[in-house]
């Protein structure tokens, strides 16, 4: 029993009426007096049945006695009736007192069973999802370099998502097999062709350049959609962060310096980085950037398929066709862009083997990524949206 428990006794003291009630002088009424005296010892069940036996509206002994008053000899009626009523009041009081005493006993038993020394249950404290934190960290790094955040719609036009980004007509990405089209007529006055769920965040490059002339430095976080299976390495809905820098005199050196700085901030200051030539319709030249595998540090493991490298983003110099579609003078301005996938980067950083774990909402998995108090990586949840 804990130090605060009050012990088994009620702290109110009930003075049971113990003195002998006066006899009534009527034998059948006086026969009830021992039962009156027995009330303080009755159990809850016995009390309930005794109340019915004595005061019950149909056959209670005192009820019947009261009902019999008119049948008694006239000279007795008054004193007999008074005796019945006096006894009735005494029974009522005794029953009420016993009821209260039983209640108090029950309460004190419950209190004694309450162990106040028992440890309390741990409170559940919510935390940012690991992907949300990774997005916030990436955005913070670019914010520190003077980039601002832009966003665009997830239901996008074919023009913004493909045509203005220099995808040739009939590019396989535009096929229904890869892209989820929306079964709705194009918006009134919109020359953008069919509506679709954007397959990347790159159309927000187009929207940004149409809205604000250079210089432009933006990062664009958002969800994208593809007609892909949900398997260990694919999800039909996932995140991307796009980057775009357009100004006079921007060169591939700016691209490399910025992205290497990003990798050193996000991973470690000594993480090795390499660029490989690649192709995207909206950049020329194009490259893919790899960082040294974060799990094996370059020696080769299953996560990096033995190569020692992990591909983290696509990038390149903005193609002049993109400038032409957005009214930016390609003789005056140049720019660079990148696109990366925070879901993928989260998997690479922590060695998560199956992307579906990032969608399940299973606390046993997610709890492993909650930073210790005071070590919150981003502290920027929600600010980037
Ligand atoms: N949009 C590309 C994709 O989803 C990624 C990408 C590559 C974006 C190169 C860029 C870039 O801005 O320059 O695969």
Distance 351 CA to ligand 1 centre (A): 23
pLDDT band at 307 (very low <50, low <70, confident <90, very high): very high
Q: Quick one: what percent of the chain has pLDDT higher than 70?
A: 90
Residues near ligand 1 (Cβ within 6 A): 200, 202, 242, 280, 283, 314-316, 337-339
Structure tokens at 382: 């929600």
Instruction: Mention every residue, 6+ apart, whose C-beta is less than 8 A from residue 261.
Output: 141, 145
pLDDT of residue 382: 31
Domain ranges in the chain? 27-113, 130-154+196-383
Kindly report the length of the chain: 385
Tens of pLDDT along 142-171? 999 999 999 999 999 999 999 999 999 888
* Ligand 1 atom closest to Cα of residue 240: 4
* Ligand 1 atom closest to Cα of residue 243: 12
Residue 264: Cβ-neighbour burial (10 angstroms; 0-12, 13-18, 19+): middle
pLDDT of residue 262: 98
Structure tokens at 183: 């079964």
- For residue 381, is pLDDT > 60? no
pTM: 0.68
* Ligand 1 atom closest to Cα of residue 282: 13
- For residue 344, is pLDDT > 70? yes
Distance 352 CA to ligand 1 centre (A): 23
Instruction: Mention every residue, 6+ apart, whose C-beta is less than 8 A from residue 366.
Output: 127, 129, 130
Q: What angle separates helix 252-266 from helix 130-143, to the nearest 10 degrees?
A: 130
- For domain 130-154+196-383, give the CATH number: 3.30.930.10
Q: What is the mean pLDDT of the chain?
A: 89
pLDDT of residue 4: 38
Tens of pLDDT along 240-292? 999 999 999 999 999 999 999 999 999 999 999 999 999 999 999 999 999 99
Instruction: Mention every residue, 6+ apart, whose C-beta is less than 8 A from residue 52.
Output: 60
| Residue carrying the six token digits 């934190």 | 133
């Amino acid at each position: 029993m804990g130090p605060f428990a009050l012990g088994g006794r009620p702290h109110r003291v009930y003075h049971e009426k113990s003195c002998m009630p006066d006899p009534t002088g009527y034998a059948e009424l006086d026969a009830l007096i021992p039962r009156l005296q027995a009330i303080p010892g009755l159990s809850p069940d016995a009390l309930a049945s005794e109340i019915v036996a004595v005061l019950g509206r149909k056959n209670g002994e005192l009820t019947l006695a009261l009902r019999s008053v008119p049948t008694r000899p006239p000279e007795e009626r008054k004193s007999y009736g008074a005796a019945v009523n006096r006894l009735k009041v005494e029974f009522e009081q005794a029953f009420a007192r016993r009821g209260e005493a039983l209640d108090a006993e029950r309460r004190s038993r419950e209190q004694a069973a309450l162990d106040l020394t028992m440890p309390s249950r741990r409170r559940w404290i919510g935390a940012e999802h690991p992907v949300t934190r990774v997005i916030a960290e990436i955005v913070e790094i670019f914010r520190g370099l003077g980039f601002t955040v832009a966003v665009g719609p997830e239901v996008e036009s074919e023009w913004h998502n493909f045509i203005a980004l220099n995808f040739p007509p009939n590019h396989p990405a535009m096929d229904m097999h890869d892209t989820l089209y929306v079964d709705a007529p194009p918006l009134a006055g919109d020359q953008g062709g069919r509506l679709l769920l954007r397959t990347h965040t790159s159309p927000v490059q187009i929207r940004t350049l149409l809205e604000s002339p250079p210089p432009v430095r933006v990062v664009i976080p958002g969800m994208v959609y593809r007609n892909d299976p949900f398997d260990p390495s694919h999800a039909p809905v996932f995140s991307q962060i796009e980057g775009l820098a357009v100004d006079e005199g921007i060169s591939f050196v700016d691209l490399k310096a910025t992205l290497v700085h990003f990798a050193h901030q996000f991973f470690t200051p000594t993480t090795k980085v390499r660029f490989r030539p690649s192709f995207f319709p909206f950049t020329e030249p194009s490259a893919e950037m790899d960082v040294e595998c974060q799990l094996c540090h370059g020696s080769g493991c299953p996560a990096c398929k033995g190569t020692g490298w992990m591909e983290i983003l696509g990038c390149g110099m903005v193609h002049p066709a993109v400038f032409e579609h957005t009214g930016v003078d390609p003789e005056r301005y140049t720019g660079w862009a990148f696109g990366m996938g925070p879901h993928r980067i989260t998997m690479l950083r922590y060695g998560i083997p199956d992307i579906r774990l990032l969608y399940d909402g299973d606390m046993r998995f997610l709890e492993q990524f909650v930073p210790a108090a005071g070590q919150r990586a981003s502290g920027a949840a929600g600010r980037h949206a």
